[in-house]
Amino acid sequence: MSSENQNGSLQTTFQNAFATIEFGHPASNSFPRELLDRLTAEINLLSQNETISVIVLQSEGSKVFCSGASFDELLQVKNEEQGTAFFSGFAHLLNAMRNCSKIIVGRVQGKAVGGGVGIISACDYALATPESAIKLSELAIGIGPFVIEPAVSRKIGKTAMTEMTLDAQNWKSANWALEKGLYSAIHNAEELDIAVENFARKLSSYNPEALFKMKKIIWEGTDHWESLLIERASITGKLVLSDFSKNALTQFKK
């Protein structure tokens, strides 16, 4: 299954008992709202697919895993309702990943910013390369990582999340992310695909019922995210309307 338009591409392939979803966008694999919705719908669909027990989530290209929200769309937000609606896209995606009945393995081949870090955090297991640096730059553009914070803090802890958030201009290395628990392992770029496939194949050979039960346990205590992440989206939706945010976004685009 594949779909592609001006808002990016999404393709799903199947191999034995695991599926691979690949998303892409010309602007550094950023996410306009439509692409967020398409990815969310695909994860929800695969959650019901009884022929698979593992999902590999990856992006196109070799340099950037995901640069987060689409700056073009952020600049088009005219009111609080539109802002909340846009950031709710990330809320729905993270909740879909959390609620998915399949184990989700992230293949992180390059840098991740903002929402991209949130997506990695919502994976159950992530394999990366030495080039997979991360950054939470939201404060620098007048907003904050409010929607993704629960996922990031759950994965690397509140202290590391705070360090990343307040140091909004600087990258954290892949090794830093490995030490904090965001990544489970780091492989050279030429070895990453082999490592991901081997891990997914091994994982998908296990008892599907055991994997499903384990997924439930992994995400225990997060049921309140259904409302929490939407509440967080409204915070960001309001902040993105500020003059500070509009000016910062325009400068970033330049």
CATH of the domain at 96: 3.90.226.10
| Count of CB atoms situated within 10 Å of the CB of 101 | 17
Number of structural domains in the chain: 1
What is the span of the domain harbouring residue 22? Answer: 2-204
Residue 117 — pLDDT band, cuts 50, 70, 90? very high
Q: What pLDDT, on the 0 to 100 scale, is given for residue 254?
A: 66
The structure tokens 């290395």 sit at 173
Query: Does 118 map to a domain?
Result: yes
Contacts of 202 (CB under 8 A, 6+ apart): none
Query: Does 227 map to a domain?
Result: no
Helix axes 149-156, 158-166, angle to 10 degrees: 120
Q: Note the pLDDT tens digit of each residue in 91-116.
A: 999 999 999 999 999 999 999 999 99
Query: Does 215 map to a domain?
Result: no
Q: Note the pLDDT tens digit of each residue in 120-131.
A: 999 999 999 999
Whether 2 has a pLDDT exceeding 90, the answer reads no
